Amino acid sequence: MTEKAQFEQAEERAVREAYGRDGHADCPRCQVQMHERAIGGGSFGLGYARQREWLLCPQCKRSVMFDLKRGTRN
Ligand SMILES: [Zn+2]
């Protein structure tokens, strides 16, 4: 097994910023749109403001995992 590929911290931050701003993000290395997946129970009716997202690049397989805080609605 090889070591799992990961982004640099600056790249992760760029992905988070792009996703927070645009609702999607491109892989900073491959320039392709990353796939997004919600992690957790998948129930959206529980009233939790916290949502965990996982973005995966289909090409290099690098991923970014982070919590989305949806505290602001306007
Ligand atoms: Zn990539």
Kindly give the distance from the C-alpha atom of residue 73 to the centroid of ligand 1, in angstroms, as a whole number: 31
Give φ, ψ of 13 to 5 degrees: -65, -40
Average pLDDT, the chain: 80
* Residue range 18-53, pLDDT digits in tens: 998 998 999 999 999 999 887 665 555 555 555 678
Kindly give the distance from the C-alpha atom of residue 47 to the centroid of ligand 1, in angstroms, as a whole number: 33
Kindly give the distance from the C-alpha atom of residue 60 to the centroid of ligand 1, in angstroms, as a whole number: 4
pTM > 0.85: yes or no: no
Q: Is the dihedral of CA 54, 57, 58, 61 positive or negative?
A: negative
Instruction: Provide the residue type at 44 as one letter.
Output: F
Q: Distance between CA 56 and CA 62 in Å, rounded?
A: 6
Which region, left, alpha or beta, applies to residue 25 given φ > 0 means left and ψ of -120 to 50 means alpha?
beta
Instruction: Provide the residue type at 35 as one letter.
Output: H
Q: Domains in the chain, please, with CATH? A: 9-69 (2.20.25)
